[in-house]
Amino acid sequence: MHASQETGIRAPTRGRPRAPGRTVLALAPLAACALVGAHRACAANPQPYQVDWVPSGNGTIDSTMKLTSQLETLRTTAPVDPYGLIARARGDVSRLRTVLDSFGYYQGRIAITINGMALDSAGLGDALTALPNGRSARLKIRPTLGPVFHVGRIDIKGALPKGMEKALELSPGAPAVASEVLAAGMRLQDALQDAGYAFARVRKPLAYEVPERHILNLLFQVKTGERVRIGGIRIEGLKEVHQSLLRRRLLLHTGELYDAATVERARQDLLALGLFSTVSVRLGPPDPERRVPVTFTVEESKRHTVGLTAAYSSDLGGSAGVHWSDRNIFGYGERLELSAEAINLGGTASTGLGYDARIGYAIPDFQRRGQTLGFSVRGLRQALQAYTQTGETLGATLNRKLSDSWDATAGLAYGHELIDQESRHYHYDLLSMPLAARFDSTDLGSPLLDPTHGFRISLNVSPTLSHGSPTASSGATNQMFVILQGTLATYYDLHRLLPADPAGRTVIAAKVMAGVALGASQFSLPPDQRFYAGGSGTVRGYRYQSVGPEFADGNPTGGTNMQAVNLELRQRVGRSFGVVAFVDAGGVSSASCRGTGASSSSCGGVSRASGGVYRIGVGTGVRYYTSIGPIRFDIAVPLHRRPNDDRFEVYIGLGQAF
């Protein structure tokens, strides 16, 4: 029988630790300075120092220790005198031992020396005081891991339903990592609550160390309580939102077996409406029939919002706009949005000032849950090198959420537009039925947040009936064409390959997009329906719409096919900044008019390149992270610069490029 001693399971320490009795001792010398009125003396004689870390052999542990060490985190922000430095180092010994414990190295050691002297050396204080003013002390931190401890016997104290112990997902012989042991207890508690035991509790496990065998025996103390069902459901805090809207949406129903996960999904679903700033859940005591009442308490968000938008790129110039929204017009979550934006404010790819004005109205849960009916009106003018367009569009869409990752949209739109291209004037009436399907497994609440894993896939099909004059010399014609577009973006966190790199800090992002127009030739398509490449959305480094076939004067013609590939390496730096390196490639092509029976005028009447034109751009950028997403600044250069290409392009906006 081996002797054992009780020890505590602690999660890996992150950030600045607050171990009881240890942090207080580490700060005692500074506090004493303040109490005796000697703060000026302490601040007037700071002891600069440098910290050298000896690798432990485990990159994750080394990173955690650096985040935990006050010698590291306070080195530049909280100067100390020589004796304060010694006290800080002694405090770090305890903190860093806690890190080793949390990773299962209960016999690990931490050795810290200052200028080669141990912390308990009698003359260390005098040696530091004697250093010339401004000379840094050299600290060396050497961790020794020792043997890793493993889980031994696992005992459970308290009544537990048969087979429920499997929810621990922890077996004897597993490394005794504190975070995994604690997570096992939480998994057991969650499993009990999901099985109807609403008030089940699993206390923090007790661990008994057996030093000779390098194992920890664990004891989980469980209080199961009664199995209950959902009782009455109340919603409190409503002011302008009608309760019937929430009742229709609730994922929870009276009489169902209590399930904590379902209650949480119901809470998150109400929050996702966008009508509330907070949604909380409160359980009441069970009644004699073992039914537990559930109360949702909501706090409504401000009904009206006003915001400003701004962006800049050297090719399209600047844009500035204002938007206003009412998120609850009639009390059922109907949303009205108005926006107006000035565009093409300068820029090498624009030829004049433009505007983009929109009105949108959306009705949530139309006819069924998770289905939104939307209406929109848009007025657009854009003056570009490729063409100048003035148009108005009316549209209606029906969006249905198919699952947590999938949604689909069907719509009907009518547009009237006037287009000038190469001194020719065109007018079109367009009736289209846009269809779209989208998949998103990035698990983000906002598209402005940084994705670190998963996929974003979209497929758009837009059958269109066009009525108008495609050339100045021909009469009005009708034609039917279909625009197909697809996009696939994926994100990979390098933490999965390099555990020493903290999660979410280094991410590879890639996007592939392609499009094709069916049923129409290059110049029978309206100019704004053709494909173009170049600019922030396709190939950075090239002017907007400049990659692809051209007229004789160098202006873009657009094409019937487009492909583009984007690859980015995104690296977080500190808390608020990031850097990006990227390469983009893409091109546009169009089948020749020869053999199609098209007239000279329908082919544009000018010489052009009808084959494929592909280009590559490279660049780098900086990100500043805010509460609403990163502010993006990118600069890119073309690898195959032509005489009419700019030397570089600059892009400034909100959110990642994709």
pLDDT tens track for 247-281: 998 999 999 999 999 999 999 999 989 999 999 99
SS3 520: coil
Select from 177, 167, 155 the least CA-distant residue to 197.
Answer: 167
pLDDT at 7 over 70: no
- pLDDT, position 500: 78
Cite the DSSP H helix spans in 103-151.
Answer: 124-129
Of all residues in the chain, the percent with pLDDT exceeding 90 is 79
> Residue 410: pLDDT band by 50, 70, 90 thresholds?
very high
**Identity of the residue numbered 328:** N
pLDDT at 473 over 60: no
Instruction: Copy the structure tokens of residue 518.
Output: 């069916």
* Domain chopping of the chain, boundaries: 5-144, 150-223, 229-300, 304-654
CATH topology of domain 304-654: Porin (2.40.160)
Average pLDDT rounded to a whole number, residues 305-330:
95
Q: Which value, in Å, is the radius of gyration of the alpha carbons in the chain?
A: 33
User: Is domain 150-223 classified as CATH 3.10.20.310?
Assistant: yes
pLDDT at 610 over 60: no
- C-alpha 502 chain-centroid distance: 15
Q: Higher pLDDT residue, 18 or 57?
A: 57
SS3 448: coil
* Contact between 236 and 224 (Cβ < 8 Å): no
- pLDDT, position 192: 96
**Phi and psi for 71 in degrees, rounded to 5?**
-60, -35
- pLDDT, position 446: 74
Can you state the angle between helices 59-68 and 82-102, rounded to 10 degrees? Answer: 140
Select from 358, 427, 357 the least CA-distant residue to 388.
Answer: 427
Instruction: Enter the pTM of the model.
Output: 0.72
Contacts 24+ apart (CB under 8 A), 9-12: 9/178, 9/181, 9/182, 9/204, 9/205, 9/206, 9/207, 9/216, 9/218, 10/98, 10/101, 10/102, 10/178, 11/102, 11/178, 11/179, 11/182, 12/64, 12/99, 12/102, 12/103, 12/177, 12/178, 12/179
Please name the residue that has the structure tokens 């440098």.
50
pLDDT at 488 over 80: yes
Strand ranges, E, within 163-249: 201-202, 206-210, 215-223, 229-236
Instruction: Copy the structure tokens of residue 532.
Output: 């173009």
Pairwise CA distance, residues 169 & 178, whole Å: 14
pLDDT at 608 over 60: no
Cite the DSSP H helix spans in 195-242.
Answer: none
SS3 264: helix
**Identity of the residue numbered 650:** V
Average pLDDT rounded to a whole number, residues 73-82:
93
The model's pLDDT over 326-371, given as tens digits with 9 standing for 90+, comes to 999 999 999 999 999 999 999 999 999 999 999 999 999 999 998 9
> Residue 172: pLDDT band by 50, 70, 90 thresholds?
very high
The model's pLDDT over 527-548, given as tens digits with 9 standing for 90+, comes to 999 999 999 999 999 999 999 9
Residues 6+ away with beta carbon under 8 Å from 170: 151, 154, 180, 181, 184, 218
Domains 150-223 and 229-300 share a fold: yes
pLDDT at 151 over 90: yes
Q: What is the 3-state secondary structure (H, E, C) of 94-109?
A: HHHHHHHHHCCCCCCE
Of all residues in the chain, the percent with pLDDT exceeding 70 is 89
Residues 6+ away with beta carbon under 8 Å from 426: 418, 419, 420, 468, 469, 470, 471, 472, 526, 527
Strand ranges, E, within 494-548: 506-518
The model's pLDDT over 20-77, given as tens digits with 9 standing for 90+, comes to 232 222 223 323 333 333 333 344 589 999 999 999 999 889 999 999 999 999 999 9
pLDDT at 5 over 80: no
Class of domain 229-300: alpha beta
Residues 6+ away with beta carbon under 8 Å from 117: 123, 124, 127
192 CB-contact burial (10 Å; exposed 0-12 / middle 13-18 / buried 19+): buried
